[in-house]
């Protein structure tokens, strides 16, 4: 009985220690997050699946649109990197290898995988309309990666599916199961870009950070309200579209965006 009690105490102490060690803060928002999944593992799997997706999908042949997507992506990524370096947060972007591609698909969608791998679909460009509109979407997607929302979601997925199995054991001895869980969370290669939706908490945080990031790069964040109004009209006022899933209602979202604009404007540099 004493041995059992000692063993249980050891397990509890180990779990608590892991949580404390893995608890970090999202830059700018200050939200506490728990990631038990090493970011290096996330990025490695992300890069592999991103390459697989590109090999199975057709890149856009529209040179002008492709160039604009890449330009906006590079501008925002550079602005984020510069700001993080100034504030001693460069370690938050360790292992990132930014890449921006436009695929020939009429779906109004876009996504960013851990490590900075971004895909835009031609179908979202009529809604973005111009470079500033692309920056709204780009800032939002980059925010997901920078805030490490993928690692949080992966941690939740692994906890739900692997139970009490130690993370080190899962990573070292169960690579196939780890990959399966990753595919569930980021099944872009096998499901034509359909990524498991983020939580409302993550989406709202990405909205807020996205406005800040686009502002840092010199894009007026106030255009975000018009973009999301157009997205709302395109979806018929619902949030059933992939790009809108799990978000607050369109009205609530636009209200939150308006509330976040003063903060974002403080980072705006023309």
Residue 117 near residue 99, CB atoms below 8 Å? yes
- Residue 264: partners with Cβ closer than 8 Å, 6 or more residues away: 208, 211, 212, 214, 215, 221
- pTM score over 0.85: no
Q: How many CB atoms lie within 10 A of CB 30?
A: 7
Contact criterion met (CB below 8 Å) for 197 and 246? yes
Residues 223, 219, 210, 99: is their CA dihedral positive or negative? positive
Residue in 36, 41, 43, 16 with CA at minimum distance from that of residue 167: 36
Catalytic residue ranges: 141
Every domain of the chain and the residues it spans: 59-150+192-265
Give tens-digit pLDDT for 219-251.
999 999 999 999 888 866 544 455 655 555 677
pLDDT digits (tens, 9 = 90+) for 77-126: 999 999 999 999 999 999 999 999 999 999 999 999 999 999 999 999 99
Q: How many other C-beta atoms can be found within 10 angstroms of the C-beta atom of residue 252?
A: 12
């Amino acid at each position: 009985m004493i041995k059992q009690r000692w063993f249980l105490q050891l397990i509890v102490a180990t779990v608590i220690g892991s949580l404390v060690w893995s608890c970090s803060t999202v830059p700018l928002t200050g939200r506490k997050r728990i990631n038990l999944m090493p970011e290096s593992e996330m990025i490695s799997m992300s890069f592999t699946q991103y390459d697989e997706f590109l090999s199975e999908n057709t890149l856009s042949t529209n040179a002008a649109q492709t160039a604009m997507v890449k330009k906006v992506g590079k501008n925002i990524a550079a602005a984020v990197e510069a700001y993080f370096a100034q504030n001693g947060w460069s370690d938050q972007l360790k292992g990132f290898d930014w890449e921006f591609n436009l695929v020939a698909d009429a779906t109004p969608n876009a996504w960013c995988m851990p490590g900075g791998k971004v895909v835009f679909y031609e179908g979202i460009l009529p809604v973005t309309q111009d470079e500033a509109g692309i920056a709204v979407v780009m800032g939002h997607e980059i925010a997901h990666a920078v805030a490490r929302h993928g690692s949080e979601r992966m941690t939740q997925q692994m906890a739900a599916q692997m139970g009490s199995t130690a993370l080190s054991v899962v990573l070292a001895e169960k690579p196939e199961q780890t990959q399966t869980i990753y595919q569930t969370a980021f099944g872009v290669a096998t499901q034509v870009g359909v990524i498991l939706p983020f939580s409302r908490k993550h989406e709202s945080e990405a909205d807020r950070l996205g406005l800040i990031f686009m502002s840092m790069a010199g894009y007026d964040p106030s255009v975000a309200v018009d973009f999301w109004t157009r997205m709302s009209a395109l979806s018929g006022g619902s949030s059933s579209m992939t790009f809108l899933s799990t978000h607050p209602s369109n009205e609530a979202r636009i209200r939150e965006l308006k509330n976040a604009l003063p903060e974002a404007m403080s980072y705006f540099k023309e």
